[in-house]
Amino acid sequence: MSNVLLETKKVVKRFGGLVAVNKMDVVIEQGSICSIIGPNGAGKTTFFNTLTGIYKPEEGEIVFDGHHTIGLRPDQITDLHIARTFQNIRLFGSMTVLENIMVGMHTRLKQSGVDALLRTRKFREEEKKAFAKATELMEYVGLHGVGDELARNLPYGGQRRIEVARALASQPKLLLLDEPTAGMNPNETEDAIRLFRRVRDDLGITILLIEHDMRVVMGISERITVMDYGEKIAEGLPAEIRANKRVIEAYLGRGAATEIIA
């Protein structure tokens, strides 16, 4: 049996005349932690959006866990157990931390609208279980005693953790993280890296992250794919990427060479 969880073949996504994602081939092994890096505007987020059904690629093939996913709606892709976090945090600010996490569970709850309306015993039992599970996830991502706080009142790092907990609530096989440490201070970043490792090690969840912080990328990734102008320009082990001329140039050209070489 193959242990490839996700494979994309020649995926193309255009916006008018702009080819934002150009013939992207990626192979992600089950249980790995991989990264996609590249300068701003390289097409990283757009590529994620093709994986989650937000955009439908014009060309190519995406196979996740044996399913062809191009043409599926985002909710159908969630049902296949792909979850994500967003580059710009997307939480319900006026809902509590626990309520936000429970949103992620929604697709996994078996209750019907009628059950909810009548508040049947089945509904109340499911709700209680969901509450307990959300609390467990909240603790798992390192948030304690803040379940009833409004999400918007948590510091930035805390909000990012809520997003991870919400993604985990949907029981993903693949977790896509879009710049998960953006805006974090060094301590928060260290904590985040430890959390992602635990998610993979304890829960067996495969992780694909987009990251701009080279310390994070080099520290956590088993394999790295580099994008520039929509295309894959390199892939390999962190040490190979660090030494890759084309990669250094792509960053040099935009004045970030010191970042990758450091």
Shortest Å distance, C-beta 25 to Mg ion: 20
Q: Is the dihedral of CA 33, 53, 99, 105 positive or negative?
A: negative
From residue 23 to residue 52, the character string flagging contacts with ligand ADP as x (rule: CB under 6 A) and all else as - is: ---------------x-xxxxxxx------
Q: Is 56 a residue that touches ligand ADP (CB under 6 A)?
A: no
C-beta separation of 162 from 101 below 8 A: yes
Q: Is 88 a residue that touches ligand ADP (CB under 6 A)?
A: no
* Helix boundaries (H) for the chain: 44-51, 74-79, 97-105, 113-118, 121-140, 156-169, 186-203, 214-220, 238-242, 245-252, 257-261
Q: Is 197 helix (H, G, I), strand (E, B) or coil?
A: helix
How many angstroms separate the CA atoms of 128 and 178, rounded? Answer: 31
Q: Is 85 a residue that touches Mg ion (CB under 5 A)?
A: no
Helices 97-105 and 156-169: crossing angle in degrees, nearest 10, is 30
Q: Is 53 a residue that touches ligand ADP (CB under 6 A)?
A: no
Shortest Å distance, C-beta 184 to ligand ADP: 18
Number of residues counted as binding ligand ADP (CB under 6 A): 11
Q: Is 45 a residue that touches Mg ion (CB under 5 A)?
A: yes
Q: Is 181 a residue that touches ligand ADP (CB under 6 A)?
A: no
Closer to Mg ion by Cβ: residue 45 or 96: 45
- Site residues (vs ligand ADP, CB under 6 A): 15, 18, 20, 38, 40-46
- Site residues (vs Mg ion, CB under 5 A): 44-45, 87
